[in-house]
Structure formats: structure tokens, C-alpha cells
Amino acid sequence: MAVLAATDGTIVPDRVVETGAELAEQFGEELLVLHVIPRDVFESQRKSSVESTSDLALTFAPEITYRELGDQTGEPGGSDERYSLEAAQRDAAGVAADVTEETVGDLEKVSYLGRIGDVTEEILAVANAENPRYLVVGGRKRTPVGKAIFGSVTQSVLLESDLPVVTVLSDG
């Protein structure tokens, strides 16, 4: 088993990753850190033929200092090929890794996962595939009207997951 922490990559340090790491340590489990790039963000980056994958990473967590990731194809010196789904998944996993390192440092039992698509669907798909002991997600307080208008990934995960879900509310 493992503990799955789904980070949106926007806040460092990330309390979701911190809580996931604490749970994983308490139960002697591996920590899986997931970051999902929404499909529309991926398509936007793909159309603009982003020159560096670090440009995409900075979209999510500009306060993180990203390592040099090369261009969208992973080839030194660049390429004219379009930004691929595989490259975006590597970038998403890189965001998960960078957020984790900035939050809790190096861990022995940790894996980083990157996905592209609907955030809720991808979190639930990974949770179903990995069957973790706990699924840790972030949330923020919203009014009922705000939830109705903007939706809520956290609310959808809570309603649709069969796993124990730990929700970490943000301070703001």
C-alpha cells in the first residue's frame, strides 16, 4: 500500500504533501505524489510550442526553482517537434517532485506521478489503480454558491472516492 497526495503545485510548502509524508511515515508506506495538468493548460502550452518544459512548470509554482529540463522533446539543443503528452506527464511528475523536495526534503520511499486531463478524473483513476491506504487532497473554504459556480475538485473526490480521503484545508 501507499499514501497518495495530490498536489496542485501552486503553494510551497504544500500542506497536502506534508500531511501525506507524515501519514506515509507513520504507516511505513511509500508516498506517491501526483500532479495533474488540466487538459486545457496542456493544449494551450502545446499550441504555443513552449520552448522549455520549465516554462510549463513555472505556470504552476513560480516560487520553485526548477532544474533545467531541456526542451519539450528532451533533446539537448532543442527541436521543432510539438510538446507531447509524454513530455507533459514528465513535467507534471517534475512539479510533484519539486513541490515535495521544497516541502519535506528528500524521502526514501517516494514516487512522483504526472497526469494530463480532468483533474478529478485523473486523481480518481490513479487512486483506483494504486489503491492507497489514504488519498490526501487540498481544499479551501468556499460558499455554497462558489462551489456551484466554480465546482470543486476536492468535493468531487470526496463524493466519488471509495478510499479514505484526508482533506487538508488551506489557510487562505
Closest CA to 16 of 5, 4, 32, 3: 5
Closest-CA residue to 113 (of 93, 90, 137, 87): 93
> What's the whole-number mean pLDDT along residues 95-116?
95
Mean pLDDT of the chain: 81
* Residue 41 in grid coordinates: 493548460
Give the confidence band of 60 by pLDDT, cuts at 50, 70, 90. Answer: low
Rounded Cα–Cα distance for residues 116 and 35 (Å): 9
What is the pTM (predicted TM-score) of this model? 0.78
Q: What is the pLDDT of residues 82-93, one digit of tens each?
A: 678 898 999 999
Cell of 63: 516560487
How would you class 80 by CB atoms within 10 Å of its CB: exposed for 0-12, middle for 13-18, buried for 19 or more?
exposed
| CATH 3.40.50.2000 corresponds to the domain 2-169 | no
Could you read off the pLDDT of 128-169 as tens digits, one per residue?
A: 999 999 999 998 766 666 555 455 888 889 889 999 999 998
> How far lies 36's CA from each of 27, 45, 60, 89, in Å?
25, 14, 10, 8
Give me the residue spans of the domains in the chain: 2-169
End-to-end distance of the chain based on CA atoms, in angstroms? 32
